[in-house]
Every structure is written in C-alpha cells, then in structure tokens.
Structure 1
Amino acid sequence: MLLSVITTCGNLLVIISVLYFQQLHTPTNYLIVSLAVADLFVGIIVFPFSMAFSYSSCLYYEDLFCKVRGFCDITLSTTSIMHLCCISIDRYYAVCQPLTYRTKINHCVVVNMIVVSWGVSVLLAISITIAGLNNDKCVERCFIDVLIFNNIGPIFSFYLPVIIMLCIYLKIFLVAQKQARSIQNTTCQSKKSGATVSKNERKASKTLAIVLGVFLLFWTPYFLCTSVLPFSNDPVPVSVIETLAWLALSNSMLNPFIYAFFYSWFRSAFRMIISGKIFTGDYTNSKLS
C-alpha cells in the first residue's frame, strides 16, 4: 500500500507540474508526462492487482483475474521501459547534437514516440497474454507459446531497450567527456576552470550511473529469472518470482525522483504544489528556478 501511495503521488506531482506551469511545456517534458502516466497506472492498477495476487496466488478467478493482471502488468511496465528508452534518445540529441536538437526533437516527433511506445506495449502484452492462454490449454508444453511467453517477450520488452539505452548513454558519456576536455583546452587553464570542468564531469557521471544503475538493479533480476524458467528442471518458488516482480515494479516509484528531482524547476514546481500556493492565485507563467 505504501509503494502504491508513493508511486501515485510522486507521478501525480510530475503530471500536474508539466500541465500547469507554462515553462514546462516542452517536448522533452511531454515524454516525462507520458512516462509518469504509465507509472501512475502502475501505482493505481498493477500494485493493487499484485497485492491481490500475492494473497490469493490466483486461486480464484484464474481465467479472468490473472490474465487481466498480467496484461496490465506487461503493458504498463513495457510502456515505462519504452519511455525511458525514448528519453535516452532525447538526451542523446541534446548532448551530442545540440545544434540540430530543436529540429530533430520537436512536438511531432515526441507525439510519435509516445504513440509508438504505448502501441508497441499494448501489442506485445496482447501477444504474450494470448501465448499464455494457449500454453494453459496445452496438454503438453507448447514450444512456440512458451518461447513467446518467456523469451521473445522479455527480449522486446526489456533486453533490446536496455541494449539501446546502454549504447546511447555510453555515447553521451564519451561525448560529454570529449566536450569537457575541449572546453578545458580552449579556455584559460586556471584552477577555477579546471575545477568547474571536473565538477561537471563528476556530475554527469553520477547522473548516468544512477539512471542506469537503478534501472538495471530493479529490472534485471526479474527478467533473468523469467528467461531461465523454461530451461530449468527445478521450479522457482512463487514467492521468489513475486518478490522479484515487486522489486521491478518499484522502479515506477523512483522514476519521478530520477527524472524530475534532478531538475531545479521541477523541485520548485513541486514545492508550490505541495504548499498549495497554486490554489491561491495564477502562477502558470511563474519563472521556475
């Protein structure tokens, strides 16, 4: 319940901030809002379903309850991962191609990213759910359906986006270091400028490490476990799978902190919302520091 409340409230803050404050109406923030909507539904829908599953182990309403829970779980979790991948692409153009960033990443491109992220996630969830239904009806294990359910699904919903994100963030990190060295070589070689460059490098390294580290830490154990299930003779206890699933879903709670709290203007917006200041006047055009 605590995870559900924190996830819901945190992502609501992100959504309200971007929709209310004019300064935050940017293509990048629309991606963050769509990500927050997906994570919001994780807190509202997936967490309650998961709590009910943990108590009942799908002993009741198996044909309906478990399939609905699985469909929502796959759709929203995959959507969240797809949005993280889109945000990494946005960051790539912002850091590596700053001169063409505004032409490459505009409102139309962002809308297409959002539509593709949600559309691919729904189609993938439908395919995996149908494969799971067919697998339940088989007297013997259906190889194709098991392959889709346990291997092909995770490849497209996790492993492929992770590889893309790792490659993009590695490129961003290398370009950022190159830019820092270039600035250091072309400006006055004072201690102050050197300290500033060094500080910027450390900050960029720390941010990328947190983004990638938290994402991989929360999601990798669950997908590795589900991927090796078909090849294991010893069944994995349900409690272990559920624990890993809860760990993975908890990433939706942290996304607002990772992708919003790092920006000072979001922090200012959150303070104004939490304090109730936006209800006492019109602050839509306020300058957020």
Structure 2
Amino acid sequence: MAINNNGSHSAALELCYESINGSCIKTSYSSGPRVILYLAFGSGTLLAVLGNLLVMVSIIHFKQLHSPANFLIASLACADFLVGATVMPFSMVRSVESCWYFGESYCKFHSCFEGSFCYSSIFHLCFISIDRYIAITDPLVYPTKFTLSVSGQCILLSWFLAIAFSFSLLYTGANDAGLEELVSALTCVGGCQIAVNQTWVLIDFLLFFIPTLVMVILYCKIFLVAKQQARKIESLSSKTESSSEGYKARVFKREKKAAKTLGIAVIAFLISWLPYFIDSIIDAFVGFITPAYIYEILLWFAYYNSAMNPLIYAFFYPWFRRAIKLIVTGEVFRGHSSTIDLFSQKK
C-alpha cells in the first residue's frame, strides 16, 4: 500500500468539494477519456463479480464438484468476487474522478478489504499448490491426506490470517507510525490516503514473497515429477499394464492437468500483483514519490487478476464451460440438476 495523493500535486483549480475548506484538488478528464476509463474499469469489475459468482455456484451446486480441492478454489473465487463487489467499484470512481466520495470511514474499510482479499488469495493459492503437490507426488494416498476437514482448515486459516493482519494493521495506526507529518500535510477532504511505513511495507512484502516462494518451489517440483511420471507411463504403454497401474496413470493425467491449470492461475497472480508490491516497497524508502496515475495503473493491473481466474477455468476446464451453460440457461433450477455428470456429457 502506498500513498494515493488524489491530485494534490495537480495544477487544476477544480475541487472535490467546492464548498468545503481543505478540499482536495480534483484532476478532471474530458468526457471521452472518462467514458473509456469507466468502460474499462466497469467491464473488469463486472467480470470479477459475475465470473467468480459462476465459479462459486458451479462448485457449490453440482455434487460432482464437491471435493476438498474444489472447495479451496470456490473460496479463492469468493475472495476475488469480494474484490469485484466491495473494492473495484469504489476504486473505479476514485481513479476516474480523482476524488473519494464515500466517506472517511469507508476509506479505511476499503483499504482493509483490499489488503484482506489480496492476502487471502495469496494464502489460498499457496494451500492449493500444496494440495496439487500431494496429488501429483502421491495420487493414490492423496484422498486420505487432503480431506474435507483439512481443506476447511486451510480455508479458515487463509481468511483469518488475511483479515486479522489487514484490519489490525490499519486500525491500530501501526502502518503510518513515524509518518504523521507527511500524512498530515497530504490529508485533504475528498482524499483516501493510506501510508505504510518502511517496517510494515517490508512485512507486507514478506507476506507476499514467502507464500510466493513456496508456490514456485512446489510447482517446479510438480512439473519435475510430472515429467518423470510421463516417461514411466510411456514405458508402460508398450507393455501389458495391470489395472492398478492403469488407474494410477489415469489419476496422474487428471491431476497433472489440474496442476497445470492452477499453475497458470498462480503465474497470472504473480504477474498482476508483483509490480504493485515492488513499487510499494521502493516508494516507502524513497519518500512516496510515485505519481498518482502510476499508482492507479499498478493497482488496477492487480485488480484485474480477480477477473482472470474464471477465464482461465473456462479455457482449460470443459466441466466449467458445461456448468456455465447449465446455470445461464436456467437448467440448474430443474429437479436433480445437482447430480448432472459434468465430465461425460457433451460440452
């Protein structure tokens, strides 16, 4: 998190609140760019909300999708859905209008939500990578290791750690300790400014970096194991294989595809959020000099990650495309729709 100065360095004379002393200066866009920005940000917001809602409904409604791994994916979709519902719409207005019109209280809530859902996504992805690692390296024992109970504990831990950290950091004021003069100088009516000092920006970065490092290491191991298993399956294909070996090969192929898809989701997350975290940590050590428009670009680049996962699932998972069709056409409201076989029916 960095200071978003909402146009305080702008030379424009228009104010966020014309009748209030100490109002922030407003940087206005002409009508053309404003429409384009609202369309761009609005479409991303809509996709994040509707796309992740479809993921959650699909996994919750269809019994065939009730698995520990899929419940983790549904919880991850919930975090992305909440970004689209509680963060992106308000950030859209702030980014385009360069003013915060939603009150000081919600400014802090908005920043807490932003941090909570970001870290929740990171922790979910980390647990998902652990799940995929166990599924690939020991597919026959995997169902007894990663149970519904274990999945539930991972989900609760992901949400609790993220929410507890973000809210305690901002509501205790630990984030801007030592930056009081800077915050006071930049505070104006119509601004939503969150400063994070050097100590806490380092902790922020470590909370991003450590789970990321775990994910990268595990996915590297996953694909090394997958390569070895693929060679073994090829060597067995020319021989008469036992039923147990054939079953193990089929399970491996399924888990490998799931690992590949979720690996792409991890890469998309890193590409989206890494520039923001790097800028935040540099900004804190050089005096918060990042221009407001650069900060907004990096932030929206990160926000758009919440809209990407449903697109990844739709591209790689035929069962998700089938589920979307059943939901959109209203077939899910028919009796026994929850027992439909999404894997064997035609797309």
Output the CA distance in 1 between the equivalents of 2:119 and 2:163: 9
Render the CA deviation track for 1:48-91: whole Å, top value 9, x for unaligned.
12123324545667743432221110001111121111111111
Q: Secondary structure at the match of 2:290?
A: coil
Deviation at 1:260, TM superposition (A): 5.7
Judged with a 3 Å threshold, the aligned counterparts in structure 2 of structure 1 residues 215 and 108 are, in CA distance, closer, same or farther, namely same
Question: Which residue number in structure 2 is paired with residue 195 of structure 1?
Answer: none
Deviation at 1:272, TM superposition (A): 0.7
Question: Which residue number in structure 2 is paired with residue 186 of structure 1?
Answer: 236
* 1:257 corresponds to which of 311, 315, 319: 311
Segments of structure 1 that go 5 or more residues without pairing to the other structure are 190-199
CA-based RMSD = 2.7
Q: Secondary structure at the match of 2:309?
A: helix
Deviation at 1:209, TM superposition (A): 6.3
Deviation at 1:174, TM superposition (A): 0.3
- Say whether 1:91 aligns with 2:132: yes
> In terms of mean alpha carbon deviation, does 228-237 or 3-12 score higher?
228-237
Opposite residue 182 of structure 1, the aligned amino acid is K
- Say whether 1:167 aligns with 2:217: yes
- Say whether 1:151 aligns with 2:202: yes
Output the CA distance in 2 between the equivalents of 1:262 and 1:115: 28
Judged with a 3 Å threshold, the aligned counterparts in structure 2 of structure 1 residues 266 and 59 are, in CA distance, closer, same or farther, namely closer
Is the 2:87–2:113 contact (alpha carbons within 8 Å) kept by the matching residues of 1?
yes
- Say whether 1:70 aligns with 2:97: no
Is the 2:129–2:218 contact (alpha carbons within 8 Å) kept by the matching residues of 1?
yes
Judged with a 3 Å threshold, the aligned counterparts in structure 2 of structure 1 residues 47 and 231 are, in CA distance, closer, same or farther, namely same
Alignment of structure 1 residues 186-205 onto 2, 5 Å:
186-188=236-238
Output the CA distance in 2 between the equivalents of 1:126 and 1:204: 34
Is the 1:58–1:66 contact (alpha carbons within 8 Å) kept by the matching residues of 2?
no
Identity of aligned residues (%): 39
How many residues are paired up?
275
Is the 1:89–1:168 contact (alpha carbons within 8 Å) kept by the matching residues of 2?
yes
Output the CA distance in 1 between the equivalents of 2:52 and 2:100: 32
Question: Which residue number in structure 1 is paired with residue 5 of structure 2?
Answer: none
Alignment of structure 1 residues 15-94 onto 2, 5 Å:
15-55=56-96, 57=98, 63-94=104-135
Judged with a 3 Å threshold, the aligned counterparts in structure 2 of structure 1 residues 260 and 172 are, in CA distance, closer, same or farther, namely farther
Output the CA distance in 1 between the equivalents of 2:313 and 2:130: 14
- Say whether 1:286 aligns with 2:315: no
Deviation at 1:113, TM superposition (A): 0.1
Q: Secondary structure at the match of 2:225?
A: helix
TM-score of the aligned structures, taking structure 1 as reference length: 0.85
Q: Secondary structure at the match of 1:91?
A: helix
Is the 2:123–2:158 contact (alpha carbons within 8 Å) kept by the matching residues of 1?
yes
Q: Secondary structure at the match of 2:281?
A: helix
Is the 1:128–1:148 contact (alpha carbons within 8 Å) kept by the matching residues of 2?
no
Opposite residue 95 of structure 2, the aligned amino acid is S
Output the CA distance in 1 between the equivalents of 2:147 and 2:235: 33
Larger radius of gyration: 2
More helix by share: 1
> In terms of mean alpha carbon deviation, does 180-189 or 83-92 score higher?
180-189
Render the CA deviation track for 1:106-160: whole Å, top value 9, x for unaligned.
0110010001000110122024323235455x2379xxx612432211211x111
Judged with a 3 Å threshold, the aligned counterparts in structure 2 of structure 1 residues 140 and 239 are, in CA distance, closer, same or farther, namely closer
Is the 2:176–2:197 contact (alpha carbons within 8 Å) kept by the matching residues of 1?
no
Question: Which residue number in structure 1 is paired with residue 142 of structure 2?
Answer: 101
TM-score of the aligned structures, taking structure 2 as reference length: 0.72
Opposite residue 212 of structure 2, the aligned amino acid is V
Is the 1:58–1:65 contact (alpha carbons within 8 Å) kept by the matching residues of 2?
no
Opposite residue 82 of structure 2, the aligned amino acid is F
Question: Which residue number in structure 2 is paired with residue 192 of structure 1?
Answer: none
- Say whether 1:273 aligns with 2:327: yes
Opposite residue 79 of structure 1, the aligned amino acid is S
Output the CA distance in 2 between the equivalents of 1:61 and 1:23: 43
Segments of structure 2 that go 5 or more residues without pairing to the other structure are 1-41, 184-195, 240-252
Render the CA deviation track for 1:185-243: whole Å, top value 9, x for unaligned.
33318xxxxxxxxxx7x978964763343222211111110011122257110110111
Is the 1:32–1:259 contact (alpha carbons within 8 Å) kept by the matching residues of 2?
no
Output the CA distance in 1 between the equivalents of 2:265 and 2:307: 13
Output the CA distance in 2 between the equivalents of 1:273 and 1:181: 40
Is the 2:125–2:266 contact (alpha carbons within 8 Å) kept by the matching residues of 1?
no
